[in-house]
Structure 1
Amino acid sequence: MLPRLGVLLSALVFLVSCTVPPDSPLFQSSDNLPPYNQDSFDQYVRDTRAWIADNRAFISDDRNLEIQLNMPFELRPDKPAKRGILFVHGLGSSPWYFMDIATAMANDGWLVRSILLPGHGTRPADLMLPDNEDWEKTIAHHANLLANEVDELWLGGFSTGGNLVTSHALRDENVAGLLLFSPGFYPNNDYLFLAPAISYLWDWVDIDDEDNIVTYQSLPTRGAALYYRSVSTVQKHLETARFDKPVLITMSQHDSVLDPNATLNAFQTRFPNQKSRFVWYGDTPQNLDDPRVTALASNLPDRRISTFSHMNVLFAPENAYYGEAGRYIMFENGQDGIPLPDDPETLWFGAWGQIAAEKYHARLTWNPYFLELLDNIREVTGDS
């Protein structure tokens, strides 16, 4: 959904009528949002699971799997943990996005939690319910809960979640470091600032078939406005403050949502810690002289990969849903009019909108360098 946001917002500027959703529970919001401020994380998980079960508009026959992949979770190591990390997902996605990384970090001795941002996990229309304060308070509450259980608190975020945890970390001295995956600091769209105003005129930016159990495919304008506010907030923080503690940032050169070069520049000027690392998937940036930046090739013809996408960094090739042989393939990837190949072995993978002659590109949803990413995390956090 998010890779289409820039194109869709640009198109909305010229629309004269609203997008009308089908008559489906998916496009009718729930009556309320779930509570987030329970006294324990266990109670939060139980309450949220029950809320999802009662409010989700299910799209498959496996309701238990849909609930499981959308609820918050905790992974504890075998021994009492001294360090903990709280993960926050992106717009339209789910806590499960961090399962592969969370599993590895729990095995390394971390107490890992991944929360559900209000408005997610049930139906796209529920993104009409929260405001940014709901998201900020949810993160603050669970950061405090985790800080009470460990000696060292880290935060991690993907895309919009990266914006939210960075803004929180710049206000919370308890945060010892950040892991940011495709953080959405700098969108590549000039019309995003219009999203809050557009949300009063049209309810939906995009309406799509909902066939992905871990990601909303459709986007209400309210969701786009929430993303814009997270961008505005984190940019204001980064203009006036630096984060002096360790941070890992990953970014694809071909990210269809963001401005990768602006993110790299922010890393070099606003994140000065010498333990910090920036992993750039693509061609080595010109005139790069920062030893903290690592460039990894994203054109891997032997694996039929042309470019890296906004989302693929998070997932191991073995992931059962998004992995190299996973059950879900994002065929719809901004290539209107190009027929699907008859032979799946000829399918190529890349960022949203990747087009090449005689090649059909699905979205890349796994990271060929996943083991290297885990090593990067260990290096930045001091586990190596």
Structure 2
Amino acid sequence: MSVNTIFKKAMLSTAVFFTSAFSANVFAVNVFTTKAASSLNCVTINNDLVQIEKFKQAGTYRFAKGGVQRINFDFASEQPFKNYLVAARAHINAQNPKANMPCPIKTETSKRLYADKPLQVVDLITPFELKAVNEKAAVLLIHGLTDSPYLFHDLANSFVEQGISVRTLLLPGHGTAAEALVDIDQADWRQAASYAIKSMLNDFDNVYLGGFSTGGALVVDYLNHNALNETEQQKLKGVMLWSPASEAKAGMAWAAKYVSWFQDYLDEAADIDFAKYESFPANAGAQVHALMKRIEPQKLKGLRNIPFFVVASEVDQTIETDATVNMLARWHGQNGAAQAQDKLVYYYANKGEDQLNALPNSLKTVTTFSCAGQVYCESVLDIAHTSPTNAPSNPHYGWQGSYRNCEHLTGTDLFASCKTANAVTLGELTEANLETTPNLQRLTFNPYYDQMLEQMQGFIKSTLR
């Protein structure tokens, strides 16, 4: 379900959240066991609609094992990154109810990390580090709200092939169960991002910072509120953002804070997607809204001389693309025209580029792309917020992937059709798309992934000097 839809649902709801209902769900988690459930893996779990409904009603994967605990790691310390990776994996194992579920998902990144060993969910969602041969730079990748580092498995492999080492970060409250976001604060995310960014600038000579959605907002926020010393400025070569969180598409996003006072969840789902949460705590929306308020264009002051590469969709239904364009225009204005050749806005548009009028002409290196020669082209309407970082070949989120994003249809008769139909239509959750295709599957891969990689490689070549 898109954040836009979630917030609309929240504002229509006036029911007070009853703690007795929460207690019943917790009890259900303890008693709900079946032979079928014990034999599931992260792929087959997507196929049984009856079981999915049971998981949703019981909250089987919504709640953390043993109650929510914080990761046993001090982000204010200067511990080596390898210590953080050990702590994060232990945290996932201790808290995630699916951590040890078999997960026969093979990506090029998982092959680099684990060779041919049988995989579990923890292996695919834990943060990781990949060292490139003949390393020329390194990139830090920070995922989005409710996501996990699995989101970067495709990009990570592409970076390593270019000689760029990769580190990923698991944001506090993620990688375990949606319950962990009920009481999280965006300051926790900022502290974790600060640790990871400082670690990068300390450990590598040439650094890129990358983020998807909320992860992108955290990168911008850090650079805007923390002055880099001369050495750090020389090391930081550029920033790469995919669907960066700048402003919520939903006009009532601010209300999530107040909704969270009365109910824990805006949406309760089965949480069968091993790589991210499907249930959405109200507090999660409130915290990302607070984070985005910190990077409003008029508040940007510390982004000078940092080249950027940004991927955005014209029809993004989670983030307001106009706000992203305004943020980039402000950023570019601080850098000056001399830096323009180092910046690239990679913009998916179907109807022209009217939203780009706020950008100076020197930044309008924007191309609209056509999908041709692939079997999925006729099935894709447009690019969703959730699309840019995943390749069509991704075994979980790709064209033939094991997972279909149908959560916007949960509780309706169309949910089953979206999950099981042989002929599917994919795109963003726009009103027009949903009107013409009621059982629309939200797109989770990038039809133009190879073209994006080509542009990204050009950006790196122009900035790595």
Q: TM-score over 0.5 for the alignment?
A: yes
Say whether 1:109 aligns with 2:140.
Answer: no
The separation in 2 between residues aligned to 1:333 and 1:192, in whole angstroms, is 17
Which of 66, 70, 76 is residue 125 of structure 2 equivalent to?
70
> For residue 215 of structure 2, what is the aligned residue in structure 1?
161
Change (3 A) 1:318 1:342: closer
More deviation in 366-375 or 10-19? Answer: 10-19
Q: Which amino acid aligns with 2:449?
A: F
Residue 35 of structure 1 is matched in structure 2 by 73
Deviation at 1:349, TM superposition (A): 0.7
Identity score, percent = 22
SS in 2 for 1:346: coil
- 1:302-341, aligned counterparts within 5 Å? 302-334=377-409, 336-338=412-414, 340=417
Q: Which residue of 2 aligns with 1:184?
A: 245
Q: 1:299 Cα shift?
A: 7.6
Name whichever structure is richer in helix by fraction: 2
- The total of aligned residue pairs comes to 381
Give 3-state SS (helix, strand or coil) of 1:72's partner. Answer: coil
Q: Does the 8 Å contact 2:343/2:363 carry over to 1?
A: no
Which of 293, 296, 319 is equivalent to 2:365? Answer: 293
* Partner in structure 1 of residue 309 of structure 2: 248
Q: Distance in 1 between matches of 2:70 and 2:438?
A: 45
Pair 1:371 & 2:450 matched: yes
CA separation of 1:194 and 1:318: change in aligned 2, threshold 3 A: same
The whole-number CA distance in structure 2 between the counterparts of 1:147 and 1:340 is 48
Which segment is superposed worse, 18-27 or 323-332? 18-27
Alpha-carbon contact 2:245-2:319 (below 8 Å) kept: yes
Q: What's the TM-score, normalizing by structure 1?
A: 0.90
Q: Is the 8 A contact 2:270 2:279 kept in 1?
A: yes
Matched, 1:223 2:263: no
Q: Distance in 1 between matches of 2:227 and 2:460?
A: 18
What is the 5 A alignment of 1:90-105? 90-105=144-159
How has the CA–CA distance of structure 1 residues 370 and 383 changed in structure 2, closer, same or farther, with 3 Å as cutoff? farther
How far has the Cα of 1:303 moved from its partner?
A: 3.3
CA distance in 1, matches of 2:278, 2:437: 27
In structure 2, distance between residues paired with 1:9 and 1:183? 19
**CA shift at 1:60, angstroms?**
8.1
Q: Residue 194 of structure 2 aligns with which residue?
A: 140
Name the CA distance, whole Å, in 2 between partners of 1:115 and 1:250: 20
One of 132, 139, 145 as aligned partner of 1:85: 139
Deviation sequence 1:340-365 (CA, Å, 0-9, x none)? 27984421111135325467421111
Which of 189-198 and 88-97 deviates more? 189-198
Matched AA of 1:319: N
Q: 1:114 aligns to what SS in structure 2?
A: strand
Query: Equivalents in 1 of 2:218, 2:208: separation in Å?
Result: 13
Structure 1 CA distance, aligned partners of 2:276 and 2:255?
A: 24
* Partner SS for 1:180: strand
Q: Structure 2-normalised TM-score?
A: 0.75
CA separation of 1:214 and 1:291: change in aligned 2, threshold 3 A: same
Say which of 263, 269, 272 aligns to 1:208.
Answer: 269
Separation of aligned partners in 2, 1:95 and 1:74: 11
- 1:290 Cα offset (Å): 4.9
Q: Secondary structure at the match of 1:295?
A: coil
Amino acid at match of 2:260: S
Note if contact 2:297-2:326 (Cα within 8 Å) is conserved in structure 1: no
What is the CA distance between 1:108 and its match in structure 2? 0.8
- Seen in structure 2, the aligned counterparts of structure 1 residues 43 and 294 have a Cα distance that, compared at 3 Å, is same
Give the superposition deviation at 1:18.
Answer: 2.1
Larger radius of gyration: 2
- 2:112 aligns with none
Q: Deviations over 1:24-77 (max 9, x none)?
A: 362354133341536222221122111111111118841642101211011111
SS in 1 for 2:168: strand
SS in 1 for 2:125: coil
* Structure 1 residue ranges, 4+ long, deviating more than 6 angstroms after superposition: 298-301
Alignment partner, residue 351 of structure 1: 428
Task: Report what 2:260 is aligned to.
Answer: 199
| Structure 1 residues 243 and 350, CA gap change in structure 2 (3 angstroms) | farther
SS at match of 1:146: helix
Check the 8 A contact 2:418/2:441 in 1, yes or no.
Answer: no
Query: Which range moves more in the overlay, 32-41 or 344-353?
Result: 32-41
Q: Is the 8 A contact 1:70 1:94 kept in 2?
A: yes
Distance in 1, Cα, partners of 2:170 & 2:10: 29
Q: Provide the alpha-carbon RMSD of the alignment.
A: 2.7
Partner residue of 2:344?
277
- SS of corresponding position for 2:167: strand
For 2:303 and 2:349, locate their aligned partners in 1 and report how far apart those are by CA, in whole Å: 26
